[in-house]
Amino acid sequence: MSNVRDRNESAWLLPADGKRVNHQLRQDMRRFDDIDEVDLLVVGCGAGGSTMLQRLARAGWKVVALDAGPFWDPAADWVSDEAGSHHLYWTEPRVISGSDPVPLGSNNSGRGVGGSMVHYAGYTPRFHPSDFETYTRDGVGADWPIDYPELKPYYEAMEEELPVAGEKWPWGDPHSYPYRPHPVGGNGEIFLRGADHLGLTAKVGPVAIVNGRFGNRAHCIYRGFCLQGCKVNAKASPLITHIPDALAHGAEVRANAMVTKIEIDERSGRATGVHYVRDGVPHFQRAAVVVIAGYSIETPRLLLNSACARFPDGLCNDFDQVGRYLMVQGAPQTAGRFDAEVRMYKAPPPEVSTEAFYETDPAKPYKRGFSIQTVSPLPITWAEHVAAQGHWGADLREYMSDYVHWSCLGALCEFLAQPDNRVTLSEQKDRHGLPVAHFSYSQCDNDAALMRAAQSVMEDILHAAGADEVITIDRFAHLVGGARMATDQEEGVVDAECRTFAVPNLYITDGSVLPTQGSANPALTIMAVAARAAERLISTSRRGN
Amino acid sequence: MSSATPPPARPWSGRFPGFDVLDQSSHWDPVTTGVVLARTGMAPDIRFFTPHEQGIATALCDQLLGQHDEPTPVPKVPLVNLIDSRLAEQQTDGWHYDDMPADGQAWRDTLSALDADARQQFDSGFAACSSQQQASLIQAVQDRGTDDWHGLRAKRVWSLWTRYACTAFYSHPSAWSEIGFSGPAYPRGYKNAGVDKLEPFEVHDARPSEDPLRGRRGVQR
């Protein structure tokens, strides 16, 4: 593979003077008019959208990306503070239901250029080869129209571009990382100690946090606020890993532009551009190719809100597939209490993980599995743990004063794709007058069994490390699916190239196309899938065709 | 408080002797400093709650965070002002359950329901009830678990109250000092991460074996 700087110069385009933004680059950014037909327009500047933008800009396409949120400046806009980071989340109204409704907002929804990767923990594991064929192997979930070897080169490319630090990885397709693992803090130390006593393999990483020198990105300072946006530019997000290079190659990023509808030409059946609102004013941007990358809630919502005469039930929804098979991971967190001071806030929350329980174990009554990782809740999030045990008043205060003694692990359980876990439109409207997303979620028995199994393993690890008490809170993490990739239009919304079955010049390149999720954090896979789609698009089409 | 009542036991107080997170504020970046120090200044005016709702909410939130019998001169964290600001600015998480109204209306409805419970049981508004009466009314909501309470699922009401109240309380530097948390850490970062390792400005827990859970189970401390 070629030198990473020759493929993506983002890290070298950032300033080396302690400022976190190359303001000149943004100031000199190319700007298109609404009436210009750009070669390709991207809706949403998160993991998938930014990757597309950078790849296509490099290939010489005229590209613009619209994002509903701000074009962040980490120095000016982000703080080293939990409550003060509320603006990082997508907090427009949404309705949740089902037997296990999934809270959105701060839990899993990003906003602005960089998307959810602005506030993700920074874990970037690959999916395992088995994730691409869970139906064939285990009769659950779905098979992808592509397999792991198809995606492998894009994983490798992305691990260099973020770049990822971690120990040699023994699980799935064994591989190594471009940067050595970070030193661990108290929480990682506890995990490694407990795993060692149990004879369980745990490894440091993989995290997309610079360890060493990489362009003008600064080294991590271990301040523990990864989930509040990295003010250091150490933790990767597309804002610093792909957007600078895209701008340098002529892309425009139009922030604070809320896309409201994809326009379809009724005669040709092709997308002609998008309607969007900026500063309260409606606009229409023409484009030869449209790429949606609004993630698992907003992408289906936009498709459904783009209903027209040709697609009366929602764009690309002829077979009632839009919004379906949306997945979250079961993410119970178990904490253990030590007389020693762990002070888990003093290091990045992502430190150590194990994928020893990732694959189906024939001896177990459930299919698929879970991974376990360090999580290190800050005080407000920790208070949720304590309050979830039923404590309030003086009990809560006393319990909270014990914060420095606790270590906390989190599991990611592979919840299975189910057709009725889906986004539909609510009767409630947002401030633009558009129906908001209604997200219904219910667990199946396999999901619940994985939650219990993961909790039990985390308790074992913490007890083995010397914990005298353990507590658990049941949570959910991540979103994928909702416009999944499939071999035919009756089973999904896009094909293996991320092109929608229904509209030949409309693509979806975000987490919503993933048919399964494994027990891995999804960011790296979303980027790899987008990078592959970009390469296919560049190699098979003439520009804008 | 009557003179016959003994001073409240405050086992959470004084675990980190001399530690005040604000002593480190000169090491914080200016944007973070602005956000955090704003919480220590004058509390924001009430804009969302009516005066009646404010009274109920204040009693409720002070009970939830054990501030109702805070001895003066310790200043209370202005929980209701902080919650009121979020609701006035619609700084919510956005989502709501399909069987619950959005957060602002849910606060109004549940405060009103709590007041109704107080009038029915104690013939007095919630804010005017004794501390014990307030506590028993709050406990009754928690005890309903997943059952219905005034047309809402009690568990979701409990989650709404504790989420907002805990976020307000543990966003405050005085709460960080109380639990030994070092607060903002940019641009300095940490140099001594690891079990039992401290930065020069951090203070060890003076009562490290005071595990509250262990105490509750009657295990010897």
Mutate to test the interface with A, among B195, B204, B210 (most CBs of A within 10 A): B195
Mean per-residue pLDDT, B183-211: 93
Considering only CB atoms, A390 lies closest to which of B15, B135, B142, namely: B142
| Residue B71 included in any domain | yes
Residue A309 CA: distances (Å) to CA of A97, A226, A264, A298, B149: 30, 46, 9, 22, 46
pLDDT number for residue A2: 73
Question: Containing domain of residue B98, as a range?
Answer: 41-171
Dump pLDDT digits (tens) for A491-521.
Answer: 999 999 999 999 999 999 999 999 999 999 9
Put simply, the answer to whether B93 touches A105 (Cβ < 8 Å) is: yes
Calculate Rg over the CA atoms of chain B. 20
| Residue B147 included in any domain | yes
Put simply, the answer to whether B176 touches A379 (Cβ < 8 Å) is: yes
How far is Cα B219 from Cα A399, in angstroms, rounded to an integer? 16
| Residue A434 included in any domain | yes
User: Residue A455: enclosing H or E segment and its boundaries?
Assistant: helix A445-464
Confirm or reject contact between A16 and chain B (CB < 8 A).
no
How far is Cα A160 from Cα B122, in angstroms, rounded to an integer? 67
pLDDT number for residue B221: 32
| Residue B48 included in any domain | yes
The amino acid at residue A428 is Q
| Residue A115 included in any domain | yes
| Residue B1 included in any domain | no
Burial of A266 (0-12, 13-18, 19+ CB in 10 A): exposed
Q: Which two tokens mark A251?
A: 């892309």
How far is Cα B109 from Cα B100, in angstroms, rounded to an integer? 10
Q: What is the DSSP string of A226-248?
A: GGG--TTS-B--HHHHTHHHHHH
Confirm or reject contact between A120 and chain B (CB < 8 A).
no
A475: CATH: 3.50.50.60
Considering only CB atoms, A80 lies closest to which of B162, B163, B184, namely: B184
Burial A53-86 (b: 16+ CB within 10 A, else e): bbbbbbbebbbbbbbbbebbebbebbbbbbbbbb
pLDDT value at B180 more than 50:
yes
With both helix axes pointing from N to C terminus, report the angle between B51-64 and B154-169 in degrees, rounded to the nearest 10. Answer: 80
Confirm or reject contact between A429 and chain B (CB < 8 A).
no
| C-beta neighbour count of A420 within 10 angstroms | 11
| Residue B104 included in any domain | yes
Interface confidence, given as ipTM, is 0.95
Confirm or reject contact between B30 and chain A (CB < 8 A).
no
pLDDT number for residue B213: 65
| Residue A545 included in any domain | no
Three-state DSSP state, A487: coil
Considering only CB atoms, B181 lies closest to which of A109, A221, A379, namely: A379
| Residue A159 included in any domain | yes
Closest-CA distance of chain A to residue B119, Å: 23
| Residue B219 included in any domain | no
Taking contacts as CB-CB distances below 8 angstroms, the residues of chain A near B9 are 394
Put simply, the answer to whether A405 touches B31 (Cβ < 8 Å) is: no
| Residue A47 included in any domain | yes
Question: Containing domain of residue A482, as a range?
Answer: 4-540
User: Residue A76: enclosing H or E segment and its boundaries?
Assistant: helix A74-77
Put simply, the answer to whether B189 touches A337 (Cβ < 8 Å) is: no
**Overall domain count for chain A:** 1
User: Residue A65: enclosing H or E segment and its boundaries?
Assistant: strand A63-66
Considering only CB atoms, B65 lies closest to which of A82, A397, A438, namely: A397
pLDDT number for residue B220: 33
Dump pLDDT digits (tens) for A327-383.
Answer: 999 999 999 999 999 999 998 899 999 999 999 999 999 999 999 999 999 999 999
The amino acid at residue A395 is D
Dump pLDDT digits (tens) for B32-51.
Answer: 999 999 999 999 999 999 99
Confirm or reject contact between A225 and chain B (CB < 8 A).
yes
Confirm or reject contact between A93 and chain B (CB < 8 A).
yes
Report chain A (545 residues): mean pLDDT per 10 consecutive residues. 90 93 98 96 98 98 98 97 95 96 90 97 97 98 98 98 98 97 97 98 96 93 95 97 98 98 97 98 98 98 97 98 98 96 94 97 97 97 93 95 97 98 97 97 98 98 96 95 98 98 98 98 98 96 57
Confirm or reject contact between B71 and chain A (CB < 8 A).
no
Mean per-residue pLDDT, B13-38: 96
**Overall domain count for chain B:** 1
CA A204 from chain centre, in angstroms, equals: 21
| Residue A296 included in any domain | yes
pLDDT value at B219 more than 60:
no
Q: What is the mean pLDDT of chain B?
A: 91
How far is Cα A151 from Cα A7, in angstroms, rounded to an integer? 18
| Residue B7 included in any domain | no
